[in-house]
Amino acid sequence: MENKAKILTLDNGLRIVTEINDRVRTCSMGVWIASGSAFETPETAGTSHFIEHMLFRGSEKRSSLDIAVEMDEIGGIINAYTAKEMTCVYAHTLSEHMPKALDIICDMIKNPKLSPEDVELEKSVICEELAMYEDSPEDLCADYYYENAWAGSMLGSNILGTVETINGMTAQKLAAHLERFYVPERMVVSLAGNFDENEAVAICSRYFGEMKNTDFPISAVGAEYNPCIATVKKDFMQNQLILGFPALDLNDERRHAASLMSSILGSASSSRLFQRIREELGLVYSVDCASASHMAAGIFMICMGLSEKSEKKAIREALKIISEFPETVTEKELARAKEQNVASLVMGLESVSSVASRNGRGVLLKGRVTPEDEVISAIRGVTLDELKKTSAEILNIDRISFCSVGKVKAESEYEKLLRK
């Protein structure tokens, strides 16, 4: 299948990715910026996320209410997120309203108001968001796990920052971050669906074409993995825990084998962990696997939500399944996982929002859009021997790291349990 994505690079280095699908009646669009927690410092932690919020506080020509009203008038959806290596502002509209939606997004990014009054208001909003995450077992466990497994690297830091860095934020600090990171060479505009390509390029050129390339290319931030045991006492009804291992970065060709391992081990309903720990033994409410790959580092995690009394037995069962996996995984399981992964990819890319997101992230982080058939071929090309070798390298019990939040035990008890 031909790669339908086209990449146009403006003279200043800004890249515009377009993928036309004339069988739909909508357009999804967004701007991806290499501004995230990985590129911050302990003193500037949370700046990227703070700016994401401030973009919705209005631009030089639109108030926050104007942005909301104008998007509602065209029936569009607008939102944003901040991750470890990027910030994204995106929208989805009917095809005929693409010009208006793209104009709003570009205006928000190019001309944010950043008034001191709005900065003060937003501090309280983000501090409330931090407090909300403190009450979420899943989010708190993930944040604390990263912080300890990747201790010493900003890749392991909380995307939201800290109460101290948030309260110390000023309009001047935000403007300085924007000037440094919101530059053409660190930005990608991506559109997918049914739209006028020339009009989209014209809008992007009008807003971003005069920006200067500052010769500040995207540079991968690595992280040294630390086997660790971390706990957080919280009065939750359930404990949340993570068993993790160092894994693969975005450019590692074995990442497809790791994804298949994740499906077989715990991220599918037929997976070993789900069937044994939840269905047969009833020890957990939730169990899942995830392989998180970044530009220069990766983590493989097994996550469980369970009661305090079930924790010890569930961990023992999980360790047994993990230890046996590299030698016992079968061709039948591999074939099933391949179909699950291919189906997930193909079904997901029937959504123009997924296409725009995949293209934007791909060009930003890897410099290209990987053709769908290339990914499918790579997934289906993984052999059982490759899967066994990759899983043996990743699932090394000697390098396990652990985090539990809730009614936790002493760290020494977990140490005995994990090292036994």
Can you give the pLDDT at residue 2?
A: 58
| DSSP strand pairing (26-33 vs 87-94) | antiparallel
Q: What is the pTM of this model?
A: 0.95
Which residues share a beta bridge with 284? 306
Helices (H), 21-115: 47-55, 64-73, 98-110
Catalytically annotated residue among 19, 52, 122, 317: 52
Nearest to 322 by CA among 382, 401, 250: 401
Q: Which of 304, 301, 305, 275 has its CA nearest to residue 290?
A: 301
Rounded to whole angstroms, the Cα distance separating 158 from 138 reads: 14
CATH topology of domain 6-208: Cytochrome Bc1 Complex; Chain A, domain 1 (3.30.830)
Residue-wise pLDDT for 184-198, tens only, equals 999 999 999 999 999
Query: In this predicted structure, what is the pLDDT of residue 146?
Result: 97
pLDDT average, residue stretch 375-399: 97
pLDDT beyond 80 at 3: no
pLDDT at 263: 96
Mean per-residue pLDDT, 24-44: 98
52 is catalytic: yes
pLDDT at 206 over 70: yes
Amino acid at 284: V
pLDDT higher than threshold 80 for residue 369: yes
DSSP 163-187: HHHHHT--HHHHHHHHHHHSSGGGE
The per-residue pLDDT for 419 is 83
**What is the spatial distance between Cα 368 and Cα 126, in angstroms, rounded to a whole number?**
34
Per-residue DSSP letter, 223: -
- DSSP code at position 397: G
Burial (Cβ within 10 Å: 0-12, 13-18, ≥19) of residue 307: middle
- Here the tokens at position 311 are 């924790």
- Indicate the average pLDDT of the chain: 96
pLDDT at 101: 98
User: What is the Cα–Cα distance from 413 to 285, expressed in whole angstroms?
Assistant: 23
Q: Place 26 in a pLDDT band, splitting at 50, 70 and 90.
A: very high
Which regions of the chain carry the CATH code 3.30.830.10?
6-208, 229-419
Strands, E assignment, 127-270: 187-193, 229-233, 239-246
- Asked if residue 386 has pLDDT above 70, the reply is yes
pLDDT tens across 163-188, in order? 999 999 999 999 999 999 999 999 99
Predicted confidence (pLDDT) per residue in 50-104, tens digit: 999 999 999 999 999 999 999 999 999 999 999 999 999 999 999 999 999 999 9
Q: Which CATH superfamily is domain 229-419 in?
A: Metalloenzyme, LuxS/M16 peptidase-like (3.30.830.10)
Has residue 1 got a pLDDT over 60?
no
**Percent of the chain, pLDDT > 70?**
99
